[in-house]
Structure 1
Amino acid sequence: MLTGGSRWWRAPAAVAAGALPVLAFPAPALWWWAYAALVPWMLLLRTAPSPRRAALEGWLGGLGFIVAVHHWLLPSLHVFLLPVAALVGLLWIPWALLVRALLGGSPPPGRAAAALVLVPAGWLLSELVRSWQGLGGPWGLLGASQWQVPAALRLASVGGVWLVSLLVVAVNCALVLLAVAPAARGAAVAGVTALAVLTGAVWLWAPRPQVSGVLRVAVVQPGVVGGADSVEQRFTVGERLTRELAGRRPDLVVWGESSVGADLAARPDLTRRLAALSDAVGAPLLVNVDARRSDRPGIYKSSVLVGGAGPTGDRYDKMRLVPFGEYVPARSLLGWVTSVGKAAGEDRRRGSTPVLMALPGRPEVRIGPLVCFESAFPDMSRHLTREGAALLVAQSATSTFQDSWAPAQHASLAALRAAENGRPVVHATLTGISAVHGPSGEPVGERLGTSASVAEVYAVPLARGSTLYVRSGDWAVRAALAALAGYVAFLVVRRVRRPAPVPPGPPARTVRG
């Protein structure tokens, strides 16, 4: 609640400031902007007149951030996006309180040094909690905005996208200190210097993936197909494009998410057509079936490998579903959203375990399939890599959001996952953007834009060895949480040791002679 007429502007300013980082993500993709995008929000929070006010402006800024990064969901969720954003925005309240406590006033050098560690850790806490699938998953992590920066991708190979987020927020924090805290400028400069030295050391020291061969992977992107029978038309277009690959010697052909709209066990005619395609091009097809299963109840999204003799038996059922897009959380309470948007009319069923698929003809190559926004979860691709995946394949469909920033945002995640794992990633979609990234996150070949209907063959470099992130996991997250826990313990101890105020004594008596 506003307490003074002179402060009316702070609430809308908080919402706007929270939305500013969206420009660092695709489609604008102004990666350099991420290193200053939080400064206006932090300048606002540090001058909040009270902790309550800082909490309010942290919440409003978080709401603005979520709406901006997910604005392309408006056609599906309509006004329901606002209450979702209001809920998730609460996660920025602890960060806002940290900013006010550590950057408010004129921070001395010691407090400034602590801010350079704790403010990024507080931001990471909000990213970590909202990465839970029930809150929408890890979409729009600040570190993901650096998907095209080689130095940032090298950092990701050491500590995952989380380490990149910490670096970006630390630079923002240093800029605030340089601007408002003369006494702490030395600490800010020292902090920036340390970050630069760290990045340089990682660049020189972090192990690089060792290329161990090439796999020729064909991506089939049918493009936009309309009409009442669009599922059948899409299959037919994919079939035609795949036949054009004959003679181009692919080792694997990848179709996008929901590229097959019927269970193959119930449609032997589709199975025969896919097997004939595999024979014609001399390579197995990795398709994605979005259909009601004939062998169990419910609708599944499944990656299925099909060879010349039909399905090879390798099948992966999608495990992490898109909230509202593929299931409605607490449908008994929130089922009404299907009447105001494009939320799922029936919940998809979840798979139970990750799957590695052996590539026929190349037994040394094992494929780790992911479906749709599963490519946003660092832990899923890391698990597949630790189990022996040589190639990560993400089958996606963002046709619902064709003219928005969503296709570019989704495709950019392939670079982060490739760099984290030291494994190439193929991001194959129905309608674009399809992209391939090598084991250091570098682009391979040309992207297939949202206007393309084509089959393209990529010479994908395979790699051996392991990144530090694959070996050590989320150590950057654990370090950040430990720093926050230490700060909370410090505050508790200081409060306990603070001497109790001495109560005033009785008023002195005046002696009159």
Structure 2
Amino acid sequence: MSNKSIIASVISGTIMIFAFPPFDIWVIGWFGMAPLFFAIYDKKPLQAFALGFIWGIVFFLGTVYWVVNSMVNYGGVPVWASVLALLLLVIVLSLYPAVFAYFTFSREKHAFHPSAFRLIFIPFLWVSLEFVRTYLFTGFPWVLLGYSQTAFLPIMQIADITGVYGVSFLIIMVNVFLFNCGLQIADCGFKIKISKMEWIIVFSVLILVFGYGHLRIGQIDNLTKNWRQIKIGIAQGNIDQAQKWDPAHQEGTIDIYRQISIDIAQNEKDIDLIIWPETATPFYLQSDEKFGPLIFDIAKTLAVNLITGSPAHEYTSDGKTINYYNSVFLISKQGGIVNRYDKVHLVPFGEYVPFKRFLPFEKLVAGVGDFSSGKNFKPLALNNDDTFGILICFEAIFPDIARQLLKNGADFLITVTNDAWFGRSSAPYQHLSQSLVRAVEGRTFLIRSANTGISAVIDPVGRIKVKSGLFTREGLVDTISLKERSFTTFYTRYGDVFAIGCIFISIVIFITNARKRGQTCLLTFALFIFSITFFTSAVPFSYFSYWSPFLVFLLS
């Protein structure tokens, strides 16, 4: 493994950081992976694995470095422990590009047309591993490659069919094409001898996707003109994380949100809904006799429906154990709790500690004991007719959660979050951009209420209509259109069939390749299990699909 290969891997990992928020130099994504391909080309599989791992270390250190800030400044964790946690996270995440690099070129030796084989196989492999990363070990789909294009709206529109994974596929395909061109230049001077079929495939796909994007933007804009509208307000309190759970500051916190809400209601007529962020009321709203009535009175006095984040609790059926939830409450304009949503997908180590009996530390979120997971993704009803789905913080980065809420009847989406944890890092910008894609996938308005920002209203094509600053105290007002329930996207109806198809095709390619190497038996067994889980309910398909690429890795 030469120094040039290591440098190329480092360069690729470094420049790809700038394709993502807050830099948003999206064009880098379309060529930034090519240096990695040059680095791992013609290398032994284990050398390629090491170079992919180096790429991952550089890239993820540059995109998730904020973990240290969150743990030290807001979790009270020692610096050494925070750095260690970051390194462990980065190492785990780096295994994905390492496995990708291991297989990228090792399968083309028996291919009839190696360059065409790369163009087909490599994008499928990348998407397969992104899908695995979304769900394996509770999942961490942060900075998936497709999220680098959220500022390039025509390309993002394909997400209503493929989800964000389709955008990742396109990016890798173009990078592979550029790599193939580069190889031809290196071998033949500047006489590029890429086959006509490769040119046709790449440019046809890009033209179709780009054309679809422009056409779809116009269609959705015209469609939303006929949707019924409501006016909403967002209150961004900018409450210091160090004071948030301190009982001495609770009354002051309520005063801040009350005043922002009053300003919204007085400056704008006919506000239907005001949204406060995650745990805006840092006490048990459902049972607090001192502060609960104050919150109800705000909704009643202003004659608006109010949404607020608050911890919730309830006894289990035995009447002895209390379960705690990270919840969102809907308070009617009459001043009473109408309904609540309990967060389902919790943050490990943030909201609960897995294997707590074996680990010597507490969760990072203060205020209550370990949170329990909510039971289902149910939309909440507003005024009996209009329904909305709630995504609490971390849930907004999981495409399938928003999809289930919309499939269950939500007319629009609301995400509430407390991004104070991230400080003034790149994370609030990354979190916002990932939430944006949920609006495109489901063709619905998405309202984002964040304690310290960035709060925003996003339309169904991914445009940010209004947004707040970071670490500012302000109120936002906008009018949104409510999606007709008869209108659903392909992605909402069928979910991640594209990503699952990528996994299936990747395994078929592995088995076809293995036949030529006389190693068919074990890989055929892997495909057999995969097929059984796909066509029957004998084993949960979703569970196996997350593991199948790693199973193939072990068996090949």
Scaled by the length of structure 1, the TM-score of the pair is 0.87
Q: 2:89 — aligned with what? A: 84
Q: 1:287 — aligned with what? A: 308
Q: After the TM superposition, which residues 354-503 of structure 1 pair with which residues of structure 2 at under 5 Å, given as runs?
A: 354-360=377-383, 363-444=384-465, 446-464=466-484, 465-496=487-518
Question: For the residues of structure 2 that align with 1:135 and 1:333, how far apart are their CA atoms?
Answer: 19
CA contact (8 A) 2:414 2:446 kept: yes
CA gap 1:471/1:204 in 2 versus in 1, 3 angstroms: farther
| Per-residue deviation, 1:403 | 0.5
Q: AA paired with 2:380?
A: M
| Per-residue deviation, 1:190 | 2.6
CA contact (8 A) 1:265 1:294 kept: no
| Per-residue deviation, 1:333 | 3.8
CA gap 1:472/1:302 in 2 versus in 1, 3 angstroms: same
Among 266, 290, 297, the alignment partner of 1:276 is: 297
Q: 1:51 — aligned with what? A: 45
Question: For the residues of structure 1 that align with 2:519 and 2:46, how far apart are their CA atoms?
Answer: 25
Q: Which structure 1 residue ranges, 5 or more long, are not aligned?
A: 499-513
Question: For the residues of structure 2 that align with 1:449 and 1:133, how far apart are their CA atoms?
Answer: 34
Q: 1:236 — aligned with what? A: 255
- Report sequence identity in percent: 24
| Per-residue deviation, 1:286 | 0.7
Q: 2:232 — aligned with what? A: 217
Q: Does 1:194 align with 2:204?
A: yes
Q: Deviations over 1:127-155 (max 9, x none)?
A: 11111263542111111121222212311
What secondary structure is seen at the aligned counterpart in 2 of 1:268?
coil
Q: Does 1:145 align with 2:148?
A: yes
Q: After the TM superposition, which residues 284-363 of structure 1 pair with which residues of structure 2 at under 5 Å, given as runs?
A: 284-290=305-311, 297-336=322-361, 342=364, 346-360=369-383, 363=384
Question: For the residues of structure 2 that align with 1:308 and 1:461, how far apart are their CA atoms?
Answer: 21
Q: 1:74 — aligned with what? A: 68
Task: Please say which of residues 488-497 and 69-78 is displaced more in the overlay.
Answer: 488-497
Question: For the residues of structure 2 that align with 1:481 and 1:159, how far apart are their CA atoms?
Answer: 14
Q: Does 1:97 align with 2:81?
A: no
Q: AA paired with 1:63?
A: I
Question: For the residues of structure 2 that align with 1:133 and 1:489, how far apart are their CA atoms?
Answer: 23
Question: For the residues of structure 1 that align with 2:303 and 2:163, how far apart are their CA atoms?
Answer: 37
Q: Which structure 2 residue ranges, 5 or more long, are not aligned?
A: 72-81, 185-191, 521-556
| Per-residue deviation, 1:203 | 3.2
Among 262, 278, 298, the alignment partner of 2:283 is: 262
Q: Does 1:26 align with 2:21?
A: yes
Q: Deviations over 1:305-325 (max 9, x none)?
A: 012444433111111111222
Question: For the residues of structure 1 that align with 2:112 and 2:197, how far apart are their CA atoms?
Answer: 6
Q: Name the Cα RMSD after superposition.
A: 2.6
Question: For the residues of structure 1 that align with 2:420 and 2:140, how far apart are their CA atoms?
Answer: 20
Question: For the residues of structure 2 that align with 1:56 and 1:311, how far apart are their CA atoms?
Answer: 58
Q: AA paired with 2:256?
A: V
Question: For the residues of structure 2 that align with 1:148 and 1:123, how far apart are their CA atoms?
Answer: 22
| Per-residue deviation, 1:482 | 2.3
Question: For the residues of structure 1 that align with 2:448 and 2:214, how far apart are their CA atoms?
Answer: 29
CA contact (8 A) 1:319 1:350 kept: yes
CA gap 1:429/1:204 in 2 versus in 1, 3 angstroms: closer
| Per-residue deviation, 1:179 | 1.1
Among 169, 172, 176, the alignment partner of 1:173 is: 176
CA gap 1:451/1:365 in 2 versus in 1, 3 angstroms: same
CA gap 1:241/1:190 in 2 versus in 1, 3 angstroms: same
Question: For the residues of structure 2 that align with 1:343 and 1:368, how far apart are their CA atoms?
Answer: 24
CA contact (8 A) 1:113 1:191 kept: no
Q: Deviations over 1:475-510 (max 9, x none)?
A: 211221122022111112212399xxxxxxxxxxxx
What secondary structure is seen at the aligned counterpart in 2 of 1:288?
strand
Q: 1:502 — aligned with what? A: none
Scaled by the length of structure 2, the TM-score of the pair is 0.81
Q: Deviations over 1:91-144 (max 9, x none)?
A: 22332133233679xx99822222112111111122111112635421111111
What secondary structure is seen at the aligned counterpart in 1 of 2:372?
coil
CA contact (8 A) 2:378 2:408 kept: no
Q: AA paired with 1:99?
A: T
| Per-residue deviation, 1:164 | 0.9
Question: For the residues of structure 2 that align with 1:497 and 1:142, how far apart are their CA atoms?
Answer: 32
Q: Deviations over 1:267-294 (max 9, x none)?
A: 1332221222112322111100036557
Q: 1:63 — aligned with what? A: 57
| Per-residue deviation, 1:158 | 1.6
Q: 1:253 — aligned with what? A: 274
